Chain A
Amino acid sequence: MTYAQTIWGMYVRWTTAWPALSAFAPFVPLIALWGFVVWLEIFPRVFLPGPFEVLQTSWSLLYKGILPAYLGDSLVRLAVGAAAGMALAIPLGIFIGLNQRAHDATWPVLLFFQAIGDIAWLPILLVWFGFGLTTMTFVIVYTVMFPVILNTVLGIRSARPELERAAQSLGASRTRILFEVTLPGALPNIITGLRNGLGYGWRALIAAEIIVGTSGIGFLMFDARRAGSVDEIVVGMIVLGILWYIVDSWILAPIERATGERWGLVTT
């Protein structure tokens, strides 16, 4: 009992001193378990490489410049697609959220197309645009757009009516109410949409790269399958996980802390 308490005490002290450690610590038992299973040699090494081999492979991929180049390609595709998707989705969501008739006219269509998930578009896109950047961009833009539109509409429509009344009786015009009251109120929902959109978009990108790609993390993984190097596939999987953690905790979470949480609109 006392041992466990001592270790827990050390853990608490260390994670307070180095907060980055608390993000890594939960993976320690997972990696240990992975190493243990590999050490038992239940599966042949070529099917299940150990942590050290994967580390070695990542180092060599980094060293050769393949991993940075492919990672860069994937990130640029995601950034461009997400930016285009947001630029289309947010104004559209605002319009549909504000206009009851537009809402009635478009909502069933939006739900219909949201259901045709990203990858389900690939076959027809390949026929139309071939194996290229257009296909990939289309898939990402499409995937990012729907969660952002749907959540923006939700945010606009769930505005508290008394805030609008307060603004009106303080002399605000319709346009000022939109920018000072309605949009800030919808911001937490818009960010939720963005979080979902980026998450789905990232997955859609990997899928598109597997099928379409000539570069990128998805391509790296699928290409490694062809060469039979499981360790490279595992490297790709780990990179995906790490990258999402970074996007979430370095970009999305700080935005949420500075807005919705600070204003008391989102309870943590």
Chain B
Amino acid sequence: MKNLSLENLSKTYFDPYAGTTVNAVQDVSLNVDAGDFVAVVGPSGCGKTTILNMIAGFVPISGGRVLVGGKEVKGPGPDRGVVFQSFALFPWKTVAENVTFGPKMRGVGKAERAKIAQEYLALAGLSHAADRYPNELSGGMQQRVGVVRALANNPDVLLMDEPFASVDAQTRMTLQEELTRIWEERRPTIIFITHDVSEAVFLANRVVVLSKGNVLKEVDIDLPRPRSWDRLVEDGDFKALSNKVLQLVRSA
């Protein structure tokens, strides 16, 4: 795992309908230490998904740099694992084949891949579903596959783009708890995009509030781990922090 830093990252694009240039992201600088967990929140249109797409290399950067472990990145690469809101699993591959897709692309042999599949499916509690196709799984199970597919490729940083936004509320809470457990076990560097304030506060060590393409404020979340909803839902510190972040987002 390595650190991720954004240096004066900007994105401008031309809006053909309005006939004007739009600054979606302006001068965003941010450092995520190796093994840290940072959440980025902000109202819709604040540029948070654009930032993630630039880090992942899916869209060109207009200005500034993205560095992973001190090295500037250009275009998409296996050093940055991505978890998508739409899961983006390969429908024609079984769960095990999805999870070992990255290793397969690296040329890892079949026997080794089987071991990787076993390890990561166990991590996600999906050992029983190894040979099933994604469309045979519930949304929550599909996103568990999405998370371990990214992890199984040993990325330097993990980019998560509203990964739990399209599952139901109960499943979402379970997935959030599982993600904190996995993070504590393996300590990947995570940048987590969300519009859900309590999700950000629950998961992260630090919450970055964005507003109109700028960093409005960074809030440290010093809640003890392991975290669980049973305990935190009535916790005074959690409520105070959530409230603080919520006020920032609403003022944004």
Interface of A toward B, CB cutoff 8 Å:
160, 162-163, 165-173, 176, 180-181, 184-185, 187, 259, 262-265
Contacts and interface: CB of A to CB of B under 8 A. Distances in A.
B133 A169 contact: no
Given A262-B133, A263-B133, A171 B105 contact: yes
Contacts of B183: none
A169 B149 contact: no
B88 A171 contact: no
**B80, B105, B136, B149 pick with most chain A CB within 10 angstroms:** B105
Nearest to A162: B88
A264 B77 contact: no
Contacts of A167: 90, 101, 105
Given A168-B58, A264-B91, 15 more contacts: A162-B84, A162-B88, A165-B56, A166-B89, A166-B90, A169-B78, A170-B153, A171-B106, A171-B153, A172-B105, A173-B105, A184-B90, A262-B133, A263-B135, A264-B135
B147 to A, nearest CB: 12
B76 A165 contact: yes
Given A165-B56, A165-B88, A169-B80, A264 B133 contact: yes
Contacts of B134: 263-264
A169 B90 contact: no
B81 interface: yes
B42 interface: no
Contacts of B105: 167, 170-173, 176
A180 B90 contact: yes
Given A171-B102, A171-B106, A172-B105, A263 B91 contact: yes
Interface string B80-117: 11101010111110000000011001100000000000
A123 to B, nearest CB: 44
Contacts of A264: 91, 133-136
Contacts of B81: 169-170
Contacts of B92: 184-185, 187, 259, 263
A166 B89 CA distance: 8
Interface residues of B, number: 28
A167 B88 CA distance: 9
Contacts of B58: 165, 168
Contact of A171 (B78, B89, B90, B135): B78
Contacts of A263: 91-92, 133-135
B82 to A, nearest CB: 4
Contacts of B88: 160, 162-163, 165-166
Nearest to B106: A171
**B56, B76, B92, B106 pick with most chain A CB within 10 angstroms:** B92
A184 B84 CA distance: 20
Given A163-B90, A184-B92, A170 B101 contact: yes
A164 to B, nearest CB: 9
A150 B2 CA distance: 47
B133 A171 contact: no
B102 A265 contact: no
Contacts of A170: 78, 81, 101-102, 105, 149-150, 153
Nearest to A160: B88
A73 B79 CA distance: 58
B135 A169 contact: no
Nearest to B80: A169
A160 B91 CA distance: 11
B78 to A, nearest CB: 3
B91 A169 contact: no
B150 to A, nearest CB: 8
Given A176-B105, A259-B92, A165 B133 contact: no
10 contacts: A162-B88, A163-B90, A165-B56, A165-B58, A166-B89, A169-B77, A170-B101, A263-B92, A263-B134, A264-B136
Contacts of B153: 170-171
B4 to A, nearest CB: 14
* Smallest CB-CB A-B distances: 4 pairs: A264-B135, A171-B78, A168-B76, A170-B102
A166 B82 contact: yes
Interface in B45-90: 56-58, 75-78, 80-82, 84, 86, 88-90
Nearest to B81: A169
Contacts of B86: 162
B189 to A, nearest CB: 15
Interface string B22-62: 00000000000000000000000000000000001110000
A169 to B, nearest CB: 4
A166 B133 contact: no
